[in-house]
Amino acid sequence: MQEFPHEYAQHHYLNPNEFIKMSGLWCIRVGHNVAKPNYQVGPKRIECYSLHFVVAGQLLLQSESGEAILQPNDLCCFFPDESYSYRIYEQKETLKLVWIAFQGPQALQLLHSLGLTQTTPVLRARCSREIWTKLYAFLQFISDQPDEAEDIGFSTGLQEQLYGIFAILMKGGKTIIDEKTNNVDDLPWLKRSLDFMQLHALEGISIKEVAEEAGVHRSYFSDIFKKRIGVSPNRYLYRLKMEKAAALISLKDRTITEVAYSVGYPSLYSFSRAFRNYYGYSPENMP
């Protein structure tokens, strides 16, 4: 990595040839970094699409649609001609990012298929171990090719890996698990558990109840859930509650105490503490 004023980073700038531009998607730059405590970018606009993956630490993203704090295994998308700024959120934690910038007529449809839009630019807990393996293999593949722009063989390999990253992100509730005793290409119980948690997150459900709904043993459920989703089931439920709470507060039609009870907290104090721990500010001071 090369040292810059606000980060240690490795950047790769690609020059897609005419062969690649006959396809629906092409990569124009990729990179990864380790941020310094003063890390801050923007406000700025870009002319392409860019996915930023949070490896470690916390990233504060500010865009035209609002503000969000990204945690490890979250990702966000920057859209062309939208204004963004982002910075390290907690200076005591080392922020690490991976990014892929791309263009092409299929780009917007692929992003929308993931649920990413200008007004919803963040995906929570989407980066599995499989994604990280694929992303770092992608970086290594590019690093190993000094004359990538002129090489059609490299270009087709690059396309294959880029589409592969999108394919993994699109799996949603599906997963591929390679265990010693069996191979499972599709886990419908995991999809059921995600739907169940989305539906009943505010009703005080326990992980035991979620595992029972999924029809698997609790310890197995928690292990596979974390491997696939990237966070523990408890953390996932916590995020659902906090995101719902923020949405309710933004309506400005109820008190903070009412929001606290609505999302399942027994008191305003316990809710405010949980909200501050998640977002970094109190519910009363939410932007």
The CATH number of residue 67's host domain is: 2.60.120.10
Q: Tell me whether residue 237 is in a domain.
A: no
Final residue before a domain boundary, out of 169, 186, 216: 169
> pLDDT tens track of the chain, all 287 residues?
899 999 999 999 988 888 888 888 999 999 999 999 999 998 989 999 999 999 999 999 988 778 888 999 899 999 998 899 999 987 788 999 999 999 999 999 889 888 888 888 888 888 888 899 999 999 998 887 765 445 777 888 888 999 999 988 887 533 333 333 232 235 778 888 888 888 888 888 899 998 888 887 888 788 888 887 878 899 989 988 898 899 889 888 889 999 999 888 989 999 999 999 888 888 898 87
> For residues 266 and 268, what is the distance between their CA atoms, to the nearest angstrom?
7
For the chain, first and last CA: distance in Å?
36
> For residues 261 and 267, what is the distance between their CA atoms, to the nearest angstrom?
7
pLDDT at 113: 82
Whether residues 84 and 181 fall in one domain: no
Whether residues 211 and 80 fall in one domain: no
Q: Tell me whether residue 55 is in a domain.
A: yes
> For residues 194 and 207, what is the distance between their CA atoms, to the nearest angstrom?
11
Whether residues 97 and 41 fall in one domain: yes
Q: Which of 275, 234, 236 is nearest to 256 (CA)?
A: 275
Whether residues 18 and 48 fall in one domain: yes
pLDDT at 180: 31
pTM over 0.75: no
Output the domain CATH number for residue 273.
1.10.10.60
Output the domain CATH number for residue 200.
1.10.10
Domain range holding 218?
177-230
Q: Tell me whether residue 132 is in a domain.
A: yes
Whether residues 139 and 164 fall in one domain: yes
Whether residues 219 and 259 fall in one domain: no
Final residue before a domain boundary, out of 141, 169, 197: 169
pLDDT at 179: 32
Q: Tell me whether residue 47 is in a domain.
A: yes
Whether residues 98 and 122 fall in one domain: yes
Whether residues 105 and 39 fall in one domain: yes
Whether residues 101 and 206 fall in one domain: no
Q: Tell me whether residue 94 is in a domain.
A: yes
Whether residues 140 and 226 fall in one domain: no
229: its two tokens: 């989703």
Partner residues linked to 28 by β-bridges:
none
Q: Tell me whether residue 235 is in a domain.
A: no
Whether residues 127 and 9 fall in one domain: yes
Write out the E strands in the chain: 2-4, 7-13, 26-35, 40-44, 49-56, 59-63, 66-70, 75-78, 84-88, 96-103, 122-123, 177-178, 183-184
Q: How many domains in the chain?
A: 3
pLDDT at 178: 35
Distant-in-sequence, close-in-space partners of 273: CB < 8 Å, separation ≥ 6? none
Q: Tell me whether residue 236 is in a domain.
A: no
pLDDT at 22: 85
In Å, what is the CA distance from 186 to each residue of 127, 211, 219? 18, 17, 19
Tell me how long the chain is. 287
> For residues 33 and 191, what is the distance between their CA atoms, to the nearest angstrom?
33
Torsion on CA atoms 31, 32, 34, 36, rounded to nearest 10: 40
Whether residues 13 and 143 fall in one domain: yes
Q: Tell me whether residue 139 is in a domain.
A: yes
pLDDT at 286: 80
